[in-house]
Chain A
């Protein structure tokens, strides 16, 4: 579904009118929309920040910007959740909800804590709508390094937030699943899509193109999801986004031991940063990952900074 169509169905009436007035080509480049109560409406596109007026035009002056009200947030949440916020209560606990097309809405407000764990978020005061983009063939360079003798090996993508790691992961999944004539054959890929961002499933069906041999386990906790996929769908490759919990690494260990190749992402600034982490650092040092790709958004989103091989030698540098 076109980004504009999804956004028009997501926002409350006031912001919907603003989005509707935005130029189509500008809208396609939008990365994030920040809505904060009584603070200016901000749009991020191509690494720049824009204020937006009530009539949908872009402005540099703060005083001219549209200042969303708390009803705008309420109405946006109602529409985005298809009037069923209860269905997203588990996601809301984690501070976000995923909408059609795999776009993610981040939420902050007053958290309600019960027995030391977050029960829900109330009085929601700000939203961050992160628009996921499908950039086909953006993984071409990476694939040249992670595939050896027509076989894909364990790969780790390291990237700070909002640098395009999920976009890269999605395209890698698509290409690995479809295969490329003369380069490598398509393989069965299992995706444990905990946040519904990779495939952007709607009623269980992937809305993003994730390839013809891809099985998606939607909204499933990663650790359990990875093991479930191994048991049920006999994948050759398993792809997961944002690993980090202890149980994720336990699952990864059994996957790697079973001879299934892993494609995963992790938040981090560079290799050194990730190497310092307890379990993941050891895995890197032990040579579990055949390739490690580091992303950055200094020049543009999704820029590939460095690619390391198994011995942590640089094989590609931007």
Chain B
């Protein structure tokens, strides 16, 4: 009986934790998008006011952000300095595709980030700024939707975890 109780407790606990983790995923995605928003705004300012070349601007921003977003910027700056690819767009694509596995971002977020690379290195500074604005707009819209979704999901996943745990316990007992 004692062992059964311990087992039931373990099942309940692990299911609850799984539920909480599922609920947290959206928070992490929001966090990453917010960091990307802040870094991109900084990049936009660097381009607009200082006309800093991308590798320098990205390195500077990358060093300021000690997180996964900073990692992306630093890696891009490093690859750009190597100058092995023909186009900036190719470098951005290569780095982003390698990096995305480490993030909580979803396919649509990655697509929007990749889209920013399409106009990378264009002569026209307004085009450069416009492509950042487009990404920032996407992030802003997505963040609003995600905050709504977060409110709904915040209780849903942990509750589902507890209930799921209970169901398993009942079935097994």
Contacts and interface: CB of A to CB of B under 8 A. Distances in A.
B54 interface: yes
B86 A12 contact: yes
B7 interface: no
Contacts of B125: 86, 89
B103 to A, nearest CB: 23
Interface stretch (B28-36, B116-124, B149-157): B116-124
B47 interface: yes
B109 interface: no
B78 interface: no
B123 A120 contact: yes
A260 B84 CA distance: 46
Give 10 closest A-B pairs by Cβ, nearest first: A83-B88, A84-B53, A83-B121, A86-B125, A87-B53, A84-B54, A85-B123, A75-B86, A9-B83, A87-B51
16 contacts: A9-B83, A75-B87, A78-B86, A79-B86, A81-B121, A82-B53, A82-B54, A82-B81, A83-B88, A83-B91, A84-B53, A84-B54, A84-B55, A84-B88, A86-B124, A87-B51
A156 interface: no
Contacts of B122: 85-86
Contacts of A81: 53, 121
Given A79-B86, A82-B83, 10 more contacts: A83-B88, A84-B52, A85-B123, A86-B123, A86-B127, A87-B52, A87-B53, A89-B125, A90-B51, A122-B123
Chain B contact-residue range equals 20 to 34
A89 B86 CA distance: 20
A263 interface: no
Contacts of B83: 9, 79, 82
A101 to B, nearest CB: 14
A81 B51 CA distance: 12
Nearest to B91: A83
A77 to B, nearest CB: 8
A203 B56 contact: yes
Contacts of B120: 83
B86 A86 contact: no
B80 interface: yes
Contacts of B124: 86, 89, 120
Most buried by B among A9, A81, A82: A82
B128 interface: yes
Nearest to A72: B86
B81 A78 contact: no
A86 B128 contact: yes
Most buried by A among B52, B83, B124, B128: B83
